[in-house]
């Protein structure tokens, strides 16, 4: 039986499926237009994840490390410790300021004009792991910057794939099935401090295997700076859809305001 996706950051896709159901019911003649309206958030199949060595020079990297060290511990969010083995901090002012300075470069690398969406600092502990997932289109583009680490921790990327347009059929072992899916052509990239990867997480499956559990106290401090196409903030936000598409019934979708 098909169901809403269960992977991390799939709440947006669940809202999109629910919205398509509503449009098919109340304005079926507009369904194709509705689907095509999201093309700005879809990624060209020509793009592949880019490893960008030494994007952050040593002085700036030192500054970022100082900023991170000075973050009060009560800003740490704990809700992903069990699932990812990490502390996170969203939209910390100094990190948001850094993200703003990278807009032009990310636009160049992405091949389209972008604007900042949101960001978070991810402090992976020795329990670090990242299950396979597709991000919400609010993270169409991600600049993943390595700030510090015990040793390189590869991340695997598929090629660009179309969004699953229907609710997927997920077996209990869906994580393993995605990793083993030969059509996804996973490719491994590893970062050194100061390096970054630009990827399109909403259209590329990605994951990190668990850090080795070998008694070594491993860690990995990463920045995730998310960008969207310039001007796409309205459509990327599901809460805007009832007004944007002039379909009031879309407001009846549960938790639409929480789907980002
Ligand atoms: Fe992701």
Q: What is the pLDDT of residue 260?
A: 79
Q: What is the pLDDT of residue 255?
A: 87
Q: What is the pLDDT of residue 159?
A: 97
> How many Å lie between the centroid of ligand 1 and the Cα of residue 134?
6
> How many Å lie between the centroid of ligand 1 and the Cα of residue 29?
34
> How many Å lie between the centroid of ligand 1 and the Cα of residue 25?
32
> How many Å lie between the centroid of ligand 1 and the Cα of residue 1?
26
Q: What is the pLDDT of residue 2?
A: 62
Level-2 CATH architecture, domain 46-230: Sandwich (2.60)
For range 42-63, the mean pLDDT: 97
Q: Nearest to residue 61, comparing CAs of 144, 146, 154, 121? A: 146
Instruction: Write phi, then psi, for 137 (nearest 5 degrees).
Output: -65, -10
- Under the banding of pLDDT at 50, 70 and 90, the label for residue 1 is very low
pLDDT in tens, 148-169: 999 999 999 999 999 988 898 8
Q: Is the pLDDT of residue 198 over 70?
A: yes
**How far apart, in whole angstroms, are the C-alpha atoms of residue 255 and residue 217?**
39
Average pLDDT, the chain: 95
> How many Å lie between the centroid of ligand 1 and the Cα of residue 66?
25
> How many Å lie between the centroid of ligand 1 and the Cα of residue 131?
9
> How many Å lie between the centroid of ligand 1 and the Cα of residue 130?
8
Residue 50 vs residues 28, 145, 191, 199, 227: alpha-carbon distances, Å? 40, 12, 11, 7, 15
- Under the banding of pLDDT at 50, 70 and 90, the label for residue 185 is very high
pLDDT in tens, 78-134: 999 999 999 999 999 999 999 999 999 999 999 999 999 999 999 999 999 999 999
**How far apart, in whole angstroms, are the C-alpha atoms of residue 223 and residue 94?**
12
Domain boundaries, the chain: 46-230
More confident: 180 or 169: 180
């Amino acid at each position: 039986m098909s169901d809403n996706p269960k992977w991390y950051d799939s709440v947006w896709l669940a809202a999109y499926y629910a919205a398509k159901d509503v449009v098919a019911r109340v304005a079926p003649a507009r369904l194709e237009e509705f689907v095509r309206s999201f093309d700005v958030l879809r990624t060209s199949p020509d793009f592949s994840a880019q490893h960008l060595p030494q994007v952050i020079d040593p002085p700036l990297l030192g500054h970022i490390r100082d900023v991170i060290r000075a973050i009060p511990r009560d800003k740490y969010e704990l809700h992903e410790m069990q699932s990812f083995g990490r502390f996170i901090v969203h939209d910390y002012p100094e990190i948001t300021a850094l993200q703003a300075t990278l807009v032009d470069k990310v636009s160049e690398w992405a091949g389209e004009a972008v604007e900042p969406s949101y960001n978070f600092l991810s402090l992976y502990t020795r329990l670090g792991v990242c299950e396979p997932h597709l991000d919400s289109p609010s993270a169409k583009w991600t600049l993943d910057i390595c700030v510090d680490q015990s040793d390189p921790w590869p991340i695997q990327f598929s090629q660009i794939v179309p969004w699953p347009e229907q609710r997927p059929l997920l077996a209990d072992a869906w994580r393993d099935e995605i990793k083993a899916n030969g059509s996804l052509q996973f490719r491994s990239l590893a970062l050194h401090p100061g390096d970054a990867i630009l990827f399109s997480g909403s259209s590329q499956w990605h994951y990190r295997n668990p850090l080795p559990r070998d008694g070594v106290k491993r860690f990995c401090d990463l920045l995730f700076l998310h960008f969207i196409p310039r001007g796409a903030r309205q459509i990327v936000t599901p809460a805007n859809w009832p007004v944007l598409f002039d379909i009031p019934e879309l407001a009846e979708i549960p938790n639409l305001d929480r789907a980002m």
